[in-house]
Structure 1
């Protein structure tokens, strides 16, 4: 690893005092690596463990299963029940479970954000700076398929990656936008129950794993990020309902981007306060006297007594010399008022779906597919929220408003392609389904050559219990790996044709 930037070292020495040497030594240690299991993928009896006294047991059992079958070395991340550290020798990104969305590879510190947000089933949630999708996929799992998630990313290439991860994780109720926060705000004034602003930052918490973050660091970049964060945070606050919760986070240590940003925000938004939340073991309380350091006062400290009423000590820092994580800053903010709303004041009303006549004309083959493929197609048949973009059919979340004029990268669940006299289901639809929902399933063992061959686009040969439906002669077959959906094959003339997307196939 190259040397830490000199200006960064000098600042952290001043801030941390005697702690600095332990902080610097942490950069010589192996970086923390983690993955987070998704409850959306649970099937059968596993799904029953999500609630009640055993609400965290499903993750433990799933970790034990994955550790045994994939050979991963997994240890719990203490501040989130779904999170586990994995060993440096493990390669979870090159395993069929990853392609099935069983887990999301995520830095352990970052997992704390959604834990503190506490999204509940039925909430409307905004992830304002969402790529590549770690926090959005965590939010979606906590929503359990209910409610509405809007995941936004301003950069088109990153928005594409975000959409791919939303698809891989089997998320049905998420819309992906590719917009500037200022263009979103008028459409969603006071709309969301909860908002995440994981703000673009100088990335000091990434120094241990990202050479480019060290090379690009400068004091000017810190100041630029702090100014941009203030603007984004303002827009996030505007889109939050009265009584709602906003979690602001960064992966940097700079006070200008952390306590300083929250101080300036609170001074300009008297209807917000820092919510008091339990500090997990090893988390460090925010340092109020750091709030004015750097950008505002040229390096001196703020008078802590002036900041007492702002309760900046309720914010949280995750420091790499105190626990296993790369570093994060988190502030949980509460907006005054009640969450009830009649007219949120946004630009648009309800999203426009297919009218009854068009629905009847264009969805014929889609309904044939549903009845032939799903054991219980009625939940899809009873939904009205279908939209058509050319030949592409989407099911949008029920709570989605009209987003005309906004750049929408993914308007909901991509159901598939409507072609003349046939419907071709999407890969994304396969990843949302469970084996018990589908008439024909070809289950593969995770460590078998068949599973890896399928991911490379090769032929799949059903064996044993997998062969019972071959007599049907034709139709769509859900391919699973140890029961977790992986993609489609199509049965024709007793042969299974691989429909795993070419762009996702392994080399």
Structure 2
């Protein structure tokens, strides 16, 4: 890898004697892959251990993380049991440490690595709002949360400042994994090297300040802000946190995680508190470069009077079809029903009114209200929490046909069933006279 000359000069000056090891690791070091298992899925770790024979090597910064690669077309990934994530990226949500019952915002959320990790911490309680400004990336985010089996999340598609009028003073925790110059990804992403210019860190810092200004307006008093980047640039790291400390009623909190390096106060405004921030370096840590700061907000934001979301107005026919399905598949969730077009959703109990919001995923997608029948969604199957639902064991060969959109033979006539491969739920099928009809979403189908 050939680094820009100005970049090399900058970090030789900043790092001094450490520069030799830094540049050797950045240009010649091995890129380490990683993944997390899903604590929302029953017996998930046991299933993962079956598919990864031999000892799993724990990742350094997440209790649910391991080192190793994940095949995106594998059963484990498609059923939402694992999520591929670079090891150092796991540190951000780990530092956030969301607690069940809290209201949490992932402000720059796509593709969903940190959102899925936060959802696992919340354990189905409270509310997760995962926001992404880019529509195509927001769609990928929504698909990843669906695969993960998350039922208490909203996926929104807004610029951060647009959310303030809906969520002023609302959240207990906000995570801002900010768009940055990407210097920490140089080793694994040649495009990041090609796009780097000497002015890029300053330009990114200006954008980060706008995002953080919006984020702070949505925190409760005493709320937690997690700010992170995947860059080494002091302009976006210590200098940016110095700007927060100087301009807002916030204090830095320690991030207690082993095998990390402290931030450099001399690269910011000299405040010794900057040592509470955390850096990951390629010459010292497994994974790529990262920076994380954890702050407590001591100010006061106006809290809005929030109307509850409107309840679903089902036609008598639609209500009857849903009730028939629910008798066979009893629901354990308590969230509110809402209807968008012919789609039925369960809105998280903590969610405010959705009026004026661009929402891609308003909670858990239950299914489609068809004429005189209800067609359950893949999301409902993947969020299954009721072991008493009718099940049908299928083989890996059957699953390969299922994800490709094909029918396959299985003796029986149960009607709607949850399809399972080795006790891993993969979706709904409709078993009619020995044939399983395929309801895997057309937009997600693929050849194994």
**Could you tell me the TM-score, scaled by structure 2's length?**
0.95
Task: Select which of 129, 140, 155 maps to 2:134.
Answer: 155
Which secondary structure state, in structure 2, belongs to the residue aligned with residue 76 of structure 1?
coil
> For the residues of structure 2 that align with 1:174 and 1:63, how far apart are their CA atoms?
25
> For the residues of structure 1 that align with 2:305 and 2:205, how far apart are their CA atoms?
29
Which secondary structure state, in structure 1, belongs to the residue aligned with residue 145 of structure 2?
helix
Counterpart of 2:402?
454
> For the residues of structure 1 that align with 2:188 and 2:63, how far apart are their CA atoms?
24
Distance change (3 Å), C-alpha of 1:231 and 1:337: closer
Query: Which structure carries more helix by proportion?
Result: 1
- 8 A Cα contact 2:224 2:295, kept in partner: yes
> For the residues of structure 2 that align with 1:452 and 1:354, how far apart are their CA atoms?
36
Tell me the CA shift for residue 261 of structure 1. 0.7
Counterpart of 1:298?
none
> For the residues of structure 2 that align with 1:336 and 1:254, how far apart are their CA atoms?
27
Task: Select which of 333, 358, 361 maps to 2:295.
Answer: 333
- 8 A Cα contact 1:416 1:429, kept in partner: yes
Structure 2 gap segments, 5+ residues each: none
Structure 1 segment 208-357 matched on structure 2, within 5 A: 208-269=187-248, 271-278=249-256, 280-291=257-268, 304=270, 307-308=271-272, 311-336=273-298, 345-346=303-304, 348-354=306-312
**Could you tell me the TM-score, scaled by structure 1's length?**
0.84
Structure 1 segment 465-484 matched on structure 2, within 5 A: 470=412, 473-484=413-424
- 8 A Cα contact 1:434 1:484, kept in partner: no
- 8 A Cα contact 2:367 2:376, kept in partner: yes
Tell me the CA shift for residue 164 of structure 1. 0.7
> For the residues of structure 1 that align with 2:101 and 2:132, how far apart are their CA atoms?
23
Task: Select which of 95, 102, 113 maps to 2:81.
Answer: 102
1:65 paired with 2:50, answer yes
Tell me the CA shift for residue 384 of structure 1. 6.0
Tell me the CA shift for residue 449 of structure 1. 2.5
- 8 A Cα contact 2:335 2:347, kept in partner: no
Counterpart of 2:8?
9
Tell me the CA shift for residue 331 of structure 1. 0.1
After superposition, the CA RMSD in angstroms is: 2.0
Tell me the CA shift for residue 435 of structure 1. 6.8
Structure 1 segment 339-488 matched on structure 2, within 5 A: 345-346=303-304, 348-354=306-312, 358=314, 362-372=318-328, 374=329, 377-380=330-333, 383=334, 385-434=336-385, 436-439=387-390, 441-445=391-395, 448-462=396-410, 470=412, 473-488=413-428
Tell me the CA shift for residue 66 of structure 1. 2.7
Tell me the CA shift for residue 502 of structure 1. 2.1
> For the residues of structure 1 that align with 2:302 and 2:423, how far apart are their CA atoms?
42
Counterpart of 2:181?
202
> For the residues of structure 2 that align with 1:106 and 1:189, how far apart are their CA atoms?
31
Counterpart of 1:506?
446
- 8 A Cα contact 1:435 1:483, kept in partner: no
Tell me the CA shift for residue 79 of structure 1. 2.2
Task: Select which of 487, 490, 499 maps to 2:430.
Answer: 490
Deviations 1:163-214 (A, max 9, x none): 1111111110000000011110121111111110111101111111112111
> For the residues of structure 2 that align with 1:38 and 1:113, how far apart are their CA atoms?
17
Structure 1 gap segments, 5+ residues each: 47-57, 292-301
How many residue pairs get matched?
446
> For the residues of structure 1 that align with 2:15 and 2:73, how far apart are their CA atoms?
39
Counterpart of 1:183?
162
- 8 A Cα contact 1:189 1:346, kept in partner: yes
- 8 A Cα contact 1:434 1:485, kept in partner: no
- 8 A Cα contact 1:153 1:179, kept in partner: yes
Counterpart of 2:25?
26
Tell me the CA shift for residue 133 of structure 1. 0.4
> For the residues of structure 2 that align with 1:384 and 1:195, how far apart are their CA atoms?
23
Tell me the CA shift for residue 21 of structure 1. 1.4
> For the residues of structure 1 that align with 2:361 and 2:302, how far apart are their CA atoms?
24
Tell me the CA shift for residue 7 of structure 1. 2.0
Tell me the CA shift for residue 91 of structure 1. 4.5
- 8 A Cα contact 1:188 1:344, kept in partner: no
Tell me the CA shift for residue 111 of structure 1. 0.7
Deviations 1:106-152 (A, max 9, x none): 11111111111111111110000000000000011111111100000
